[in-house]
Each structure stands twice: as C-alpha cells, then as structure tokens.
Amino acid sequence: MSHDSSNSPRSKRLQLISDYGCTRSSKCRKPCSRSAETVSTRREAEPVRADVKGTQHLSGPGRAGLTGGPAAGRAAARAGAMAKLLSCVLGPRLYKIYRERDSERAPSSVPGTPTSVTNPHSSSWDTYYQPRALEKHADSILALASVFWSISYYSSPFAFFYLYRKGYLSLSKVVPFSHYAGTLLLLLAGVACLRGIGRWTNPQYRQFITILEATHRNHSAENKRQLANYNFDFRSWPVDFHWEEPSSRKESRGGPSRRGVALLRPEPLHRGTADTFLNRVKKLPCQITSYLVAHTLGRRMLYPGSVYLLQKALMPVLLQGQARLVEECHGRRAKLLACDGNEIDTMFVDRRGTAEPQGQKLVICCEGNAGFYEVGCVSTPLEAGYSVLGWNHPGFAGSTGVPFPQNEANAMDVVVQFAIHRLGFQPEDIILYAWSIGGFTATWAAMSYPDISAVILDASFDDLVPLALKVMPDSWRGLVTRTVRQHLNLNNAEQLCRYQGPVLLIRRTRDEIITTTVPEDIMSNRGNDLLLKFLQHRYPRVMAEEGLRVVRQWLEASSQLEEASIYSRWEVEEDWCLSVLRSYQAEHGPEFPWSVGEDMSADGRRQLALFLAQKHLNNFEATHCTPLPTQNFQMPWHL
C-alpha cells in the first residue's frame, strides 16, 4: 500500500516551519532570530481580513502555529464566529448606509472590516441598507409582532374588562393561555435567531457591528466618524454628552440634580385653605384620578408624536429626512444623557465655516407635539443659513422617556449645555426658535439662561388650560384644570416674562389648533394672550386701559390692510416712540418691567402700545402646520 510522505504530520510541520524561513530540524528548540524576524515581517505585511463567517484570521500560512497549533486555531476561530453571530442576533436594526459626497470613504481602521465593503461604489451608497432575504422576512415578522403588542397594550383595559365579563379570567382559562403565550415567545425568539443568521451572512452588517462594538470600547474620533456613516436603531448609539460633563455643573450646587431642573410651580387652586391631614385625604381620590388621566389619555393627546404606532407609520419619512440632513447638510447626530436618565436624539448642522455671517449664530429648534427634527421646523433656519441644532422630545423617535413637562425641561437643559460646552457656542450666539408646543421648552431655556441672544415663538400659546378645556366636555372642567396644573402645566407666558432679551411672536391668522373657537375667529388665538401678557409685564404703565384697548383692536385685524388702517388712525410716530424708549433705557437701565408711560397722556400711551405690539408680533397668513417661509424668519426687534 503506497503512502504519500508529503501528507504525513512530520512533513506538514517541516513545511510549516520552512514557510517562515527556518531550515532547522523540527526537533530544534533553540530560538531562531531569522524565523522571528521573518514571522514579524510577514505579519505586518499580511492584511487583517474577515472571512464570510465573520471571523478574523491571518491570510498567510502559519496561523495555527502562531496560536498554539491547528486545534487551538480552529477553536479560536469557532469562538470568534459564535461571538460575531451572537452580536448579530442581539445587534440593532440597520436602516441605511449613508453616502459620502466630498471624498471616498477612508479605509476602515477597525479589524475585521472587509475591503470590499469599506470602499463601495458611489451608486450603492445612495440606497437603503439591503438585508438578505432571511433577515428581511424575520424583520417583517418581528415588526408585525411589535405592532400587535402596541395595539394590545393600548386596548388592554377594554380587553381585561371584556374577559372579566365573559368569565375568561379564571385559573382554568389563564393557564392554557399562558402556555400559548410562552410558545409564541419561543417562536419569536427563534425568528430573532434566524434574523441574526441572516445578518451574519451579510458583509455590510458584519462591518457595521464590528465598528459599533469598537466604538463602544473606544470612543475615539475615528470610530465615531465611521459609525456616523450608518443609520440604525438609536438605542444602541453610544452616549456623546453627559449632563454632568461640564465642570461648572460638578462645582455648582445650584445646578440640576437627578430629580430634574427647576420649574415654576403652579399656585394652589384654593388659597388660604389649611393643608391638614383631613384635607389631604379628601383630595386623594381627585389626585389619583388626575394622575391616571395625565399618564394615560392626557399625555398621548398632548404629545401624539410619542405614540409608537404613529412613529411606526412615519418611519420612512423620518429616515428620508435624516438622510437629507446628514448627506446634503452634513449634519452630525449625537446622543445626550439628561439628568433624569433619558437619552435625547439630536442633530447638529454647522455653518460656521461658510461665508454667511448668520452661520456664526446657532438656532436651537424646539418642535411641536407631533414634530420631529427630521421633518420639522429646522428647515427654516437651515435655508436661512444659520447653524442649527435640532432635538426630539423624550419618547419621540430616538429619544427615550415620556414627554412630561419635567422631562421636557431636563432634555432642553442638556441640549443647551451641549451647545455651549461641546459645540462651542456662547449663550450670546444662541437663538431659541420654537413652533407650537415647543414654546414651553424654549421659554424655559430663556428663563434659565438669560444671556441667550433671542427667542422666536411661532404659533405658540400662553397657557395650556384654555386649549385643553376646548377639546374636553364642560362637565370635566374641574378635572381637566386640576390635571393640567398638576401634571401638564405648560405655562409659556409665565416663563417668557422671566426673560429679559428680544422676543418675536409669529401668529398664524388661520390657525386651527391654538384657537379656542374656530380658525376664522382670530381673537380666540391664544397667541394674542401671549402677546398681551408679555407686554403687560414689560410695560405695565403703557399697557393700561387705553393701551390695552387699542392693542386689542389691532389684534382683531384680519389683514395687513386693516392693521395699517388702525396704525395710521392713531398717527403712530415711530421716531417719537423710539426716542422715548431709548431715553428711558439710558436713564433707568434695560431691566424689565419698565415704568415708562407713567406721566404720559392717553394718546401717547396708545401710540407707544401700538408701536410695541407691532414690533413684537408678526402675522403669517397660514394654518398651524404650514412650514414657515425663510423670509418670515426674522430676528426680534431690540433697542
């Protein structure tokens, strides 16, 4: 029987050693400098690559010998493959790989990144991530299960009531149901494993998960740059900024704590009532009812954008908007950790390197109750050439938590801190721009950071209570008022009056959301009340009876022609008004409230009131959700 000596174990070992430049016998145990130099040189020359199973190994011969023999090498390869498979099973969903417009993607510095994936053709970058068939179908099944779970969650009170009435909540019925539920969970776990296998066979996903793991281990600038080329489930994005990161926060005792930042608390409904134990017991049922209403129906009615089903329906639009911000505007996404533990999703577009002077100013955008920075009001200051920082409410898209006033203020606080301490903008270079319900966080930031440059409020309101009473039955008036004041108190006017800087209000003349009657009744627009409260706080003598009356007449005007008619009827002399205000400021300083108009005639107060109202409010003939044109985005007036 013939025997091939070239396949014997001895000849394999000799061949292995000779490949690394050593001609000695395999029994030699002396150190060989030549062999060591050759091995080192070849290891540096041979690239690190990943095979189709996602394992990392040297492409040259001798890998097994360097790791302790063929058996040890195979064991290490299997362990690496299993670790990579587990990462693919537990990894986040990948939505898109962004294209790079300026230059070709640099070769990846992360080990295990296939060369064919790090340098794809530009035509493939402008598309969504294409999963393999197994991953795609498994993702569809899990997404459908998630939607069913969300529907079941919202309908659970009615389902439990129905099952109780039918007698299905007995032990004999619950036990079989639990068996069915357990079987369903096992099936879904199997589907998740199949999805992981589909990802494991996809070199694009393996490259992504390798970069993600490397970024979690080392938050280097290069790793973050590579990770920014991917759009994936934001829960797996590493934290970029912590609320305690500024050194001033660590040294100051007056800053926010883990309980949250300071808010203006509402006054008690019944003043002078002794807060005895008996009164507390009497109030307990009402307080419990208010809490339940606020945390179930109320919060979702106030912030519909936090509802999972709505976010699921808007997901393609949000992904498209985010791709536009990243690819066309060169936006940078970041995750901020607020003091309450919520993670806030932000997008920053830097225009400081452009020739436009407004690029040196940062506009922080606060979205509405169903708005997202991907498709929200950030487009207006972007088109105007400003640097822009957008963020999503807690519970919206990539942000975690629920959008209660305390969580909203906590999120706004870390956004402003991020703009100052990480992005490098001074408060004097920051402008707050809010649309609709975003006025609450904008006015809170203006109150808490008085050095901020300016505040622009578009289609906002003074207080939430009148708008909440509008959509609820009259018989619920007491419950609605108590619930809003205790849990959903959006007191925009009260906060705005604590700010000393320039303010501009934009009123939508056909607004159907913040009017308490019908859109055609412009005097029911709560933006009017916001302006009146603001002017009455800053100029109480001017906004006395005569001034208040004439400003109301001016607000009733439904067109620019009617406004001009009222303005000219009272013969407002702008030069005279400016001289009066400037002389008062020079004599008494800029701090509000001012006592200007105290010794002024009624005619003079009317002129001054109309002049101030016209400088602080602009009309925009549109409905509530119409995007604000760039020409209507103007800086507020100031002396």
Cα-based angle 520, 526, 531 (whole degrees, multiple of 5): 120
Q: Are 63 and 46 in contact (CB under 8 A)?
A: no
Question: Would you state the torsion angle of the CA atoms of residues 362, 528, 577, 593, taken in this order, to the nearest 10 degrees?
Answer: -70
Contacts of 337 (CB under 8 A, 6+ apart): 239, 241, 242, 243, 343, 344, 414
**Residues with Cβ within 8 Å of residue 490, at least 6 apart in sequence:** 405, 437, 439, 440, 463, 464, 484
Number of residues written out for the chain: 639
The catalytically annotated residue of 156, 588, 601, 603 is 588
H or E, element range at 454: strand 454-458
Least Cα distance to 548 among 491, 485, 613 occurs for: 613
CA distance 403 to 488: 10
Rounded Cα gap, residues 119 and 106, in angstroms: 8
Identify whether the C-beta of residue 44 lies closer than 8 Å to the C-beta of residue 60. no
Q: Is 599 a catalytic residue?
A: no
Q: How far apart are CA 377 and CA 368, in angstroms?
A: 9
- The answer to whether 305 touches 372, Cβ cutoff 8 Å, is yes
DSSP labels, 34-86: HHHHHHHHHHHHSPEEE-TTS-EEESSTTHHHHTTSHHHHHHHHHHHHHHHHH
Residue 486: partners with Cβ closer than 8 Å, 6 or more residues away: 266, 287, 290, 291, 294
Residue for token pair 């009497």 = 282
Q: Is residue 436 annotated as a catalytic residue, yes or no?
A: yes
| Contact partners, residue 445, CB within 8 Å, separation at least 6 | 364, 412, 413, 416, 432, 452
The amino acid that residue 91 corresponds to is G
CB-based contacts of 371: which residues, under 8 Å, 6+ apart?
Answer: 305, 377, 435, 436, 438
**Is the separation of the CB atoms in 370 and 305 below 8 Å?**
yes
* Active-site residue, 575 included: no
User: 461 near 480, Cβ under 8 Å?
Assistant: no
Q: Report the half-sphere exposure of 129 (CA within 13 A, side-chain side).
A: 26
Measured CA to CA, the distance from residue 385 to residue 366 in angstroms comes to 18
Return the structure tokens found at 71.
Answer: 């058996």
**From residue 248, how far is each of 254, 256, 376, 408 by CA, in Å?**
10, 11, 32, 22
Identify the active-site residue in 460, 511, 529, 616.
Answer: 511
User: What is the residue type of 206?
Assistant: R
- Helix, strand, coil percentages (3-state) for the chain, rounded to 5, are 55, 10, 35
For 431-472, where are the alpha helices, taking DSSP H only? 439-448, 464-471
The two three-digit tokens of residue 518, written as one number: 């019908």
- Using only C-alpha atoms, the chain has a radius of gyration, in whole angstroms, of 32
> Exactly one of 436, 448, 453, 460 is catalytic; which is it?
436
Q: Which two tokens stand for residue 68?
A: 């302790």
Six-digit token string for 166? 């039918």
Catalytically annotated residues:
436, 511, 588
